[in-house]
Amino acid sequence: MSSNHQEISSFIWNVCDDVLRGLFKPTEYGRVILPFTVLRRLDCVLEPNKDEVYKLYQEYKDKVDPSPIIQQRTNTPYYNHSKYDLTRLKGDPSNVLMNFRNYINGYSPQVREIIENFNLDILVEKLHKNKRLYELIDKFTEVDLHPDVINNHQMGQVYEELLRKFSEMSNEESGDHYTPRDVVKLLVSLVFGGNTDDLKGSGKIRSMFDPCVGTGGMLTIGKEWVQKNINPDLKMVLYGQELNDITYSICKSDFLITGENPDNIKLGSSLSDDKFQGKTFDYMITNPPFGVSWNSDKQFIKNEEGDPNGRFFVGTPRTSDGSLLFLQHLISKMDDNGSRIGIVFNGSPLFTGDSGSGESEIRRWIIENDLLECIVSLPDQLFFNTGISTYTWILTNNKDEKRKGKIQLIDGSSFYSSMKKSLGSKRKYITSPHRKELLEIYQNFEEGDHSKIFNNEFFGYTKVRIEQPEVDDNGVIQRKKNGDPKSDTSKRDYERIPLTEDIEEYFQREVKPHLPDSWMDEDYKRVGYEINFTKYFYEYEPLRSLEEITQDLLKLEEESEDLMKEILED
């Protein structure tokens, strides 16, 4: 069989299609194919020591825990003490279901947990009931996934290709755990391309973390990008946490079969059940769910909000959208020696929430602590299950000297090509030349048509309350008894004054000429921050002339008359 990963994955998918068609929807194929691919790979890896492991287990199982003995003898982190593998299961067709269960239970705990979280039992029962379990096993034994034939890197590519096929066929749900690769590649290039010196040199070890790891694509692509573009010898240790049990298993199994450490992938909510509490990372990348409620984690998060050392001490966003909570989570894991964060957001975290709100306070804290380095707007229609516009935020606690106190905004909304065939809501993709150009704009750190650079305080404002006295029906200004023109029933308005302006000077210049009797309420001043991305790149387009519009209307009228003639003649 060919060692080309695309040919192998296509072969696996196609032979399984013969077995699964009619019994499962094509969108469900991956739930069967992915775990069976893992099992076949493990069989091929463990085959040389299969008989020895079985004998060792039988010899020691009633005396001591045989696991350390088996692992020491075979020099593998996992094993299967059952006498079966997929090939041996074919020797007893009439008992295939019972023997398959024995085979699964023979795996060491690490592998068994992965298989259990795939929820494979229900699928296997269905296959057996419809007399297709044996047939599927037989098909998989035709695929040689031994490490001598398919190395770890190639195996990772095979698995990724199968995952891509599965995700493309299940567009609606794939968006929850599968970020398009063109988006990931841009994100990792911005995160790592902004700190190349840290990644160069021999003997270096760096860590990378994703709190919404999904199937692990961001981590593996990030590592691959660094080794291909910066340092092939860099050791990048990968960590992740995932809420969904099936995607958790996909990620963990991918790590298992490609030589990564699957123990670094944890199951659970990153917000309410942080499995990496107290740990810091060099690089962090993620695509948290857009506009998803955090109500289920509310009690835990609110409790931590009151802790001055907690992740959410600055404040929390509205419960309908937890995006900024994930960013706060990542910031808490920044290392004092310097960390970099890349995160994908929709537009909401840029501007949602008025001054004093949780969102505004989070933005204020991030910007005033000089953590935000760059934001890149992306084209719309990039994701499988939504056509909304998205933005990548790049943050660091170790800015280059030239970037200190500044934020770069890059308009990347026009950097795309149209897809020949839509995949759900995804109709556009960012090509390699587009990614390269955007990275260059970022690295050059210069103003231009697609790049704007602002001082941090540019995005801040003070919201002040403007009071105006009420006038009664006789035109008399109502005053309090003490002569203060502030009335309990005074008319109120609000003004946002940029932090770059003196408040009193602004009031005298912009408000007083229009409201001569007004005054500022000195007890009401609220600092807020927002990033109105579209406003900064807006280009005025003059309205078309009346003559141009008239000509277009006349042309349309002529076309309509010609069309009517054709209809009548027919």
Asked if 235 and 204 count as a contact pair (C-beta separation under 8 A), the reply is: yes
Torsion of CA 269, 270, 274, 275, to 10 degrees: 80
Answer yes or no: is pLDDT of 481 > 60: no
What is the structure's pLDDT at 172? 45
Q: How far is CA 460 from CA 190, 351, 353, 368, in A?
A: 25, 11, 13, 9
Closest CA to 215 of 247, 243, 180, 183: 247
CA atoms within 13 A on the CB side of 155: 27
**Among residues of the chain, what percentage have pLDDT more than 90?**
59
pLDDT for 499: 95
CA distance 137 to 36: 8
Band (483; pLDDT cuts 50, 70, 90): very low
Res 250: pLDDT: 85
Express each pLDDT in 498-516 by its tens digit: 999 999 999 999 999 999 9
Quick one: pLDDT at residue 226?
96
pLDDT of residue 489: 53
Asked if 86 and 40 count as a contact pair (C-beta separation under 8 A), the reply is: yes
Question: pLDDT tier at 13 (50, 70, 90 boundaries)?
Answer: confident
Secondary structure of residue 379 in the 3-state scheme: coil
Q: Read off the pLDDT band of 175 (50, 70, 90).
A: very low
Question: Chain-wide mean pLDDT for the chain?
Answer: 88
* pLDDT, position 165: 78
- The CA dihedral of 107, 108, 114, 119, to the nearest 10 degrees, is 40
Q: Provide the pLDDT for residue 517.
A: 87
Residue 477 binned pLDDT confidence (cut-offs 50, 70, 90): low
Measured distance CA(378)–CA(186) in Å, rounded: 10
Higher pLDDT, 17 or 528: 528
Contact 129, 177 (CB under 8 A): no
CA distances from 77 to 74, 256, 553 (A): 9, 10, 75
Supply the pLDDT for residue 563: 67
Residue 173 has pLDDT above 50, yes or no: no
Q: What are the tens digits of pLDDT across the range 30-63?
A: 889 989 999 999 999 999 999 999 999 999 888 8
Region of 59 please: left (phi>0), alpha (psi -120 to 50) or beta.
Answer: alpha
Mean pLDDT, rounded, for 342-367: 95
Residue 3 confidence (pLDDT) above 80 = no
pLDDT tens-place string over residues 284-293: 999 998 888 8
Q: For residue 402, which of 366, 445, 451, 365 has the smallest C-alpha distance?
A: 445
* pLDDT top residue among 174 and 492: 492
Distance of CA 255 to the CA centre of its chain: 18
Q: What is the mean pLDDT of residues 223-240?
A: 95
- pLDDT (tens digit per residue) in 54-101: 999 999 888 888 888 998 888 888 899 999 999 999 999 999 999 999
* pLDDT score of 18 more than 50: yes
Alpha carbon 135 to its chain centroid, in Å, reads 38
Calculate ∠ Cα 369-373-374, nearest 5°.
140
